[in-house]
Amino acid sequence: GAGVSQSPSNKVTEKGKDVELRCDPISGHTALYWYRQSLGQGLEFLIYFQGNSAPDKSGLPSDRFSAERTGGSVSTLTIQRTQQEDSAVYLCASSPSRQGAYGYTFGSGTRLTVV
Amino acid sequence: SQKIEQNSEALNIQEGKTATLTCNYTNYSPAYLQWYRQDPGRGPVFLLLIRENEKEKRKERLKVTFDTTLKQSLFHITASQPADSATYLCAPVGSGNTGKLIFGQGTTLQVKP
């Protein structure tokens, strides 16, 4: 597609439930990133995929968070046993290169509200 | 640890003036520095990238400078317009970096007509 697509755009879930957030990157972009942005805060790095390499999971806040990228394209971020502090906008971005020499293209995000 | 500082206070300027935003970093040796714009409820949008061997980069009304000695980048918007009102984020990228961008907190610019 022309841009990075994320779904759903909004998700309200009950505390303790699992949620899955989806990201469709730009076709041909080998690098894919997940960030989280709480209300009024900056972007917090979560996880990064580059081609077939092992993902960089150094930003995942707890073992309740996991992500996968199938076929080098679509990615799913899963949050298990959601907590109220997980409420935030989850942003996905893709890039044609891992080296930071190209700008990232971000999706519009998924707004997650845990009630 | 690596640290990025952007002025957390909002910058308010009059339409037509030049806006200047600052990005300072420590414990970094970035090969590139990227600037993004973020509007409320939207994802950041890439604006400009400057390399460590470039002193200045321009794109239309935007100008970015990069001083590796001062460890600072300045982002200028000339002839500012109310439509330029947004939050602007900087992201230095270290040489040999995997491409994982760490963003500053951003500076909110408000251009008044």
The mean per-residue pLDDT over the stretch A61-84 comes to 95
The answer to whether B86 contacts chain A (CB < 8 Å) is no
CB proximity under 8 Å: B 50-69 to A: 51
pLDDT for A72-82, tens place per residue? 799 999 999 99
Judged against a pLDDT cut of 70, whether residue B96 lies above it is answered with no
pLDDT computed for residue A78 by the predictor = 98
pLDDT for A17-49, tens place per residue? 999 999 999 998 989 999 999 988 889 999 999
The answer to whether B100 contacts chain A (CB < 8 Å) is yes
Judged against a pLDDT cut of 70, whether residue A105 lies above it is answered with yes
pLDDT for B26-56, tens place per residue? 987 888 899 999 999 899 999 999 998 998 9
Q: In three state form, how does the secondary structure of chain A look? A: CCCCEEECCEEEECCCCCEEEEEECCCCCCEEEEEEECCCCCEEEEEEEECCCCCECCCCCCCCEEEEECCCCCEEEEECCCCHHHCEEEEEEEECCCCCCCCCEECCCEEEEEC
pLDDT for B10-21, tens place per residue? 999 999 999 999
**Chain A: closest CA distance from residue B12 (Å):** 18
- From the list B43, B49, B102, which residue is nearest A107 (CB)? B43
